[in-house]
Amino acid sequence: MEARGHNGTQEPPALEALLANAHVVRIPLATRFRGIEHREAVLLRGPHGWAEFSPFVEYEDAEAATWLAAAIDAGWNAPSAPAVRDSIPVNATLPAVALDRIEGVLARFGECRTVKIKVAERGETLADDVKRVRETRRLLGAEGRIRLDANGAWNVDEAEHAIRALEEFDLEYVEQPCASVPELAELRARIHRIDVPIAADESVRKAADPIAVARAEAVDLLVIKAAPLGGIDRALAIVAEAGLPAVVSSALDTSVGLAMGAALAARLPELPYDCGLGTAALLLGDVVASPLVPVDGAIPVGPITIDEDALARFAAPADRETWWRERVARCRELLEVAAAAD
């Protein structure tokens, strides 16, 4: 059945069809990330293959419903745009770890030339960030690329101060340094003489109007994620309307979710930046026969094969399975209401 998109007119599949082949998994992480030590996800099987529903647990149902729309789109529809590449260059992702752990974390990603470093983490100081970036630069060498992600944690003054303190490390860009579009626009105006581009993530995927940040000329590029934007076609439409370069990223997905991200990146007309789709390297396990961990700095585009033994091995506890199945039901109901309204 057709089930196209969160903002389209098609009704979502029946709940029984969504959950008939659903598996709830809980996979441990190699290092604590976003305050969690395990990643939970629901894997759904539709007529076009496997899909992942894994909004973070703190997200309200209204936001999580868009992630379900993306999973339905991946499992029940085929992307309308053709792929233009079969391999996606990816970056390593460095959480806020101690200096003596940086080399070990980066080693999990293999030969990635680019590292995204989480900064402005709770409990950390700018001095901690400077030390972490300096050590990463030392390990990468002069040719490596470093980008930062503040997840909107700085105000404009803090962001300007931090960027000036970190610019000596030759930053590729800084992702979501401030939370709001007006703050991003003010920051970009303040640092226009510094060659450090500004990227938007939350100002795209969490915004009622994902084009507003581009319309305000507040950033230089977009970071897009297929799941929170409602699927591949909707994400492509946002990039096309924004008229800005884009980086495809993940949300600490299993390889099922990463395959959807790779399919999105494969369909962008231009791909000037390495993508944040190497995060399977942060998982201590996966649910596919060939996990999408970076090899020579890239991951392949194409179908994945589920590992049935891994589904059993990483099956979530019964209470968590119930929690996720109920969440799917609530989010599906929201999609049905939205489809009826259209």
Considering the domain architecture, whether residues 195 and 49 belong to the same structural domain is answered as no
- As annotated, the active-site residues are 118, 225
Considering the domain architecture, whether residues 198 and 287 belong to the same structural domain is answered as yes
pLDDT means per 10 residues, the chain with 342 residues, are 45 96 97 89 97 97 97 92 96 96 97 97 96 98 97 98 97 98 98 95 96 98 97 97 98 97 98 97 97 97 97 98 98 96 85
Considering the domain architecture, whether residues 268 and 322 belong to the same structural domain is answered as no
Inter-residue contact 262 to 292 (CB < 8 Å)? yes
Give the separation between CA 95 and CA 279, rounded to whole angstroms: 11
Dump strand ranges (E) for 135-278: 145-149, 171-175, 198-200, 221-224, 246-248
pLDDT attached to residue 298:
98
- The CA radius of gyration of the chain, in Å to the nearest whole number, is 19
pLDDT attached to residue 339:
93
Considering the domain architecture, whether residues 66 and 209 belong to the same structural domain is answered as no
- For residue 190, give the CATH number of its domain: 3.20.20.120
Considering the domain architecture, whether residues 122 and 245 belong to the same structural domain is answered as yes
Asked if residue 2 belongs to a domain, the reply is: no
Token reading at 328: 């799917």
Considering the domain architecture, whether residues 116 and 221 belong to the same structural domain is answered as yes
Asked if residue 312 belongs to a domain, the reply is: yes
Residues 6 or more apart whose Cβ sits within 8 Å of residue 132: 94, 96, 97, 99, 102, 117, 119
* Phi, psi at 35, each rounded to 5°: 80, 5
pLDDT attached to residue 33:
83
Tell whether residue 157 is among the known ligand binding residues. Answer: no
Considering the domain architecture, whether residues 233 and 93 belong to the same structural domain is answered as yes
Asked if residue 138 belongs to a domain, the reply is: no
pLDDT attached to residue 229:
97
* Total tally of structural domains belonging to the chain: 2
Determine if the pTM surpasses 0.75: yes
Question: Which residue(s) pair with 89 in the sheet?
Answer: 298
- For residue 19, give the CATH number of its domain: 3.30.390.10
Q: Which domain holds residue 275?
A: 87-98+109-126+143-300
Considering the domain architecture, whether residues 158 and 273 belong to the same structural domain is answered as yes
- What's the residue count for the chain? 342
Considering the domain architecture, whether residues 72 and 214 belong to the same structural domain is answered as no
Inter-residue contact 176 to 202 (CB < 8 Å)? yes
Tell whether residue 321 is among the known ligand binding residues. Answer: no
Picking from 151, 206, 143, 191, the residue whose alpha carbon sits closest to that of residue 175 is 151
Asked if residue 1 belongs to a domain, the reply is: no
Asked if residue 134 belongs to a domain, the reply is: no
User: What percent of the chain is helix, strand and coil (3-state, nearest 5)?
Assistant: 40, 20, 40
Considering the domain architecture, whether residues 327 and 295 belong to the same structural domain is answered as no
Tell whether residue 149 is among the known ligand binding residues. Answer: yes
* Sheet hosting strand 198-200, strand order edge to edge: 92-94, 114-118, 145-149, 171-175, 198-200, 221-224, 246-248
Considering the domain architecture, whether residues 239 and 94 belong to the same structural domain is answered as yes
Token reading at 5: 């998109």
Classify the phi-psi angles of 231: left when phi > 0, otherwise alpha if psi is within -120 to 50, otherwise beta. left
